[in-house]
Chains A and B, each alone.
Chain A
Amino acid sequence: MKPFAFERPASVMDAAIAAAVPGASIIAGGTNLLDLMKLQVETPSRLIDINRLALDRIEPTPEGGLRIGTLVRNSDIAADIRVRQHYGVLSRALLAGASAQVRNKATTGGNLLQRTRCYYFYDISKPCNKRRPGSGCAAIGGFNRIHAILGTSQSCIATHPSDMAVAMRVLDAVVETIKPDGSKRAIAIAGFHRLPGSTPQVETVLERGETIIAVRLPPPLPGVHIYRKVRDRASFAFALVSVAAVIQMAGGRIQSARLAFGGLAHKPWRVPAAEQTLEGEAPSPAVFQAAADAVLAGAKGFGSNDFKIPLTRRTLHAVMAQATHS
């Protein structure tokens, strides 16, 4: 860990200003940042501690949704009875992530901003375009069991490791931020994370210093909420594939289907065409397969992650069968 200057700004505005200084990094839960700092994957010269700012509340919104402060700990979102009753997919996704100890520390904003778990990204002696632009991607041609099959580029095949973000994607959450100039903006989660393209080091649309202050959930979605996480051990493991689903049935047909996927891409993956394939149909293996075809359009394996293509197909089928009792 490189030495850093430590600061504790008195307001969120001060935090954004401090975070705009080159080399500065905000620390909230720190569960991912410190992990990376110890390995010098992250080497902030200034650490901005925002933990004592009053951004740790979950409040109802006028529209009937919830506004979750950026400092609300993952476990507190998962445990909130409003979230459990009306946003089950989010609670379940959070509970699927990491360990209880990490969830007690990790924050809303930090979870959205966590870095990939790519093995090569974590080892500074190895090439990685995300860590050292232009150095190459060791995962391509290497061991890539946990890597992406969708939205990849020649520069990067990393995945976003969050479970929470996948659920927020299916719920169409909105990320609220503040910029160093004091202006605020609301970013739809669909557009919050970027695909790697030729600049995999740029992971979100946040501008320099722009700081997450909350995540807003729209009013609850009716229907069955499912978060299915497929992983290499029963608990405390990152997703190989995960599916966040909110499915509503009416008269034996799928009235509405929302599906987001984790473990497949550089961002939570959602394909409107797949959802349209399902809507209005009676549940059947053929319909599920058609939806899977739409989700997996353009999917490409890189060797050790080839299995994710059939796994995604089969997991989607299982989730749809569960949701529709078919």
Chain B
Amino acid sequence: MPVGRRAVLGTGTAAVFIAGVAPGPDAAAGETRGEATVATVTVELHVNGASHRLTLDPRTTLLDALREHLALTGSKKGCDHGQCGACTVLLDGRRINACLTLAVLHDGQPVTTIEGLADGETLHPLQAAFIEHDGFQCGYCTSGQICSAAGMLEESRAGMPSFVTADLAEPQPPLTDDEIRERMSGNICRCAAYPNIVAAIRKAAEIRA
């Protein structure tokens, strides 16, 4: 009974297609345990500037595509339901929970993960600031915190308000520490490096400003 490699059944492009459980043409041998197959889809993911053509079970989340198919394990699975933020990546520059979306939904779209933030050996200012301010302990939420912070600083620069913004009509709300805290609340850190994370983000924001 072969149990080794994942069955790979490309079914053409991602434009319009139908996929489903066997019966597919290759599922004829479905009698044997482990050989029934789910028809796959082909997805082109652009991650950290590199293009990857993947043959995936359509149920594969963006997070699992990154972790299990591209070995980009920096994005973490803490809850798999968008409740912790450890999987935060940047999709087209905007922060999202990679666990709450399917890879197939993002065919052709650019994704940036923690592995893509540094410029070669030079750390991103947020990464350097997280080290300096000890913005983590166990490190498991860290990738998500940093990607989230990167997205958050862009949002702030673009004038995005938050729930704690006093005057919503103000086109460019100032990024106070309270604002950082509110905007970063989708990223749980159970080690509770929170004060240090805020200090790190503040430092990185000042470097960029």
Residues of A at the B interface (CB closer than 8 Å) are 1, 3-10, 27, 29-31, 34-35, 38, 45, 47, 49, 51, 75, 78-79, 81, 84-85, 88, 91-92, 95-96, 98-102, 104-105, 234-236
Q: Is B95 an interface residue (CB 8 A)?
A: yes
Q: Which A-chain residue is minimally distant from B94 (CB atoms)?
A: A104
Q: Is B190 an interface residue (CB 8 A)?
A: no
**Pair A92/B58 contact, Cβ less than 8 Å:** no
**Pair A6/B101 contact, Cβ less than 8 Å:** no
**Pair A5/B81 contact, Cβ less than 8 Å:** no
Chain A residues with CB under 8 Å of B55's CB are none
**Pair A34/B101 contact, Cβ less than 8 Å:** yes
**Pair B171/A81 contact, Cβ less than 8 Å:** yes
**Pair B41/A31 contact, Cβ less than 8 Å:** no
**Pair B59/A1 contact, Cβ less than 8 Å:** yes
Q: Is the interface of B mostly helix, strand, loop or mixed?
A: loop
Chain B residues with CB under 8 Å of A92's CB are 163, 168
**Pair B163/A235 contact, Cβ less than 8 Å:** yes
**Pair A6/B148 contact, Cβ less than 8 Å:** no
**Pair A234/B185 contact, Cβ less than 8 Å:** yes
The docked-state distance in angstroms from the alpha carbon of A51 to that of B95 is 17
Cβ distance A156 to chain B, nearest Cβ, rounded Å: 23
Chain B residues with CB under 8 Å of A6's CB are 17-19, 41, 58, 104
**What are 7 A-B pairs with beta-carbon distances under 8 A?**
A4-B20, A8-B16, A30-B100, A78-B161, A79-B160, A95-B162, A100-B148
Q: Kindly identify, within residues 150 to 168 of chain B, every residue whose CB is under 8 Å from any CB belonging to chain A.
A: 151-152, 155, 158-163, 165, 168
Q: Is B88 an interface residue (CB 8 A)?
A: yes
Q: Is B96 an interface residue (CB 8 A)?
A: yes
Chain B residues with CB under 8 Å of A100's CB are 95, 148, 151-152, 155, 183, 186
Cβ distance A102 to chain B, nearest Cβ, rounded Å: 6
Q: Kindly identify, within residues 77 to 113 of chain B, every residue whose CB is under 8 Å from any CB belonging to chain A.
A: 80-82, 85, 88, 91, 94-97, 100-102, 104-105
Cβ distance A51 to chain B, nearest Cβ, rounded Å: 6
Chain A residues with CB under 8 Å of B41's CB are 6
**Pair A31/B185 contact, Cβ less than 8 Å:** no
How many chain B residues have a CB neighbour from A under 8 Å? 49
Cβ distance B113 to chain A, nearest Cβ, rounded Å: 14
Mark B48-67 against chain A: 1 for CB-CB distance below 8 A, else 0: 00000000011101000000
**Pair B148/A91 contact, Cβ less than 8 Å:** no
Chain B residues with CB under 8 Å of A51's CB are 105
Chain B residues with CB under 8 Å of A236's CB are 185-186
**Pair B105/A98 contact, Cβ less than 8 Å:** no
Q: Is B138 an interface residue (CB 8 A)?
A: no
The docked-state distance in angstroms from the alpha carbon of A10 to that of B91 is 23
The docked-state distance in angstroms from the alpha carbon of A4 to that of B39 is 10
Beyond A99-B82, A104-B96, whether A85 also contacts B183 by CB under 8 A is no
Q: Which B-chain residue is minimally distant from A102 (CB atoms)?
A: B82
Cβ distance A310 to chain B, nearest Cβ, rounded Å: 25
Beyond A35-B82, A88-B169, whether A95 also contacts B161 by CB under 8 A is yes
Q: Which A-chain residue is minimally distant from B148 (CB atoms)?
A: A101
Cβ distance B94 to chain A, nearest Cβ, rounded Å: 5
**Pair B185/A91 contact, Cβ less than 8 Å:** no
Cβ distance B209 to chain A, nearest Cβ, rounded Å: 20
The docked-state distance in angstroms from the alpha carbon of A3 to that of B160 is 38
Chain A residues with CB under 8 Å of B165's CB are 95
Chain B residues with CB under 8 Å of A5's CB are 18-20
Task: Give me the 7 closest cross-chain CB pairs, A-B, nearest first.
Answer: A99-B186, A235-B185, A95-B163, A3-B21, A84-B168, A5-B20, A236-B185
The docked-state distance in angstroms from the alpha carbon of A155 to that of B106 is 39
**Pair A3/B20 contact, Cβ less than 8 Å:** yes
Cβ distance A77 to chain B, nearest Cβ, rounded Å: 11
Beyond A1-B59, A99-B82, A101-B88, whether A85 also contacts B169 by CB under 8 A is yes
Chain A residues with CB under 8 Å of B159's CB are 79, 81
Cβ distance B110 to chain A, nearest Cβ, rounded Å: 15
